[in-house]
Amino acid sequence: MSHTRFWPYIVLLLLTAGLLSACSTRGTPRDPKYQDAVELKLKCRELADQMLATMPNSALEGYVAMPTSFVDQNYTERSSTLGRLIAESLFYEFNQRGFPTREYRLTGNITVRGARDNLVLIPSSTICATQKWSSILLGTYLVDKDATFINARLVRAKDGLVLRTGQLVLVNTDIIKRLGTPDKVTYVAPPKPSTSAVQKRKAASSGLYAPIDTLGTGTIPIVQQR
Q: Which domains does the chain possess?
A: 26-183 (3.40.50)
Give the pLDDT mean for 37-56: 93
**pLDDT band at residue 31 using 50, 70 and 90 as cut-offs:** confident
Reported confidence tier of residue 210, pLDDT bands at 50, 70, 90: very low
pLDDT band with cut points at 50, 70 and 90 for residue 207: very low
Mean local confidence (pLDDT), 105-126: 65
Does 80 have pLDDT greater than 90? yes
Higher pLDDT, 7 or 37: 37
pLDDT surpassing 80 at residue 218: no
Q: Kindly calculate the radius of gyration of the chain based on its CA atoms and give it in whole angstroms.
A: 27
Question: How confident is residue 222, by pLDDT bands cut at 50, 70 and 90?
Answer: very low
Average pLDDT, the chain: 78
- List Cβ<8 Å contacts ≥24 apart for 40-45: 40/85, 40/170, 40/175, 40/176, 40/179, 41/89, 43/150, 43/168, 43/170, 44/86, 44/89, 44/90, 44/93, 45/93
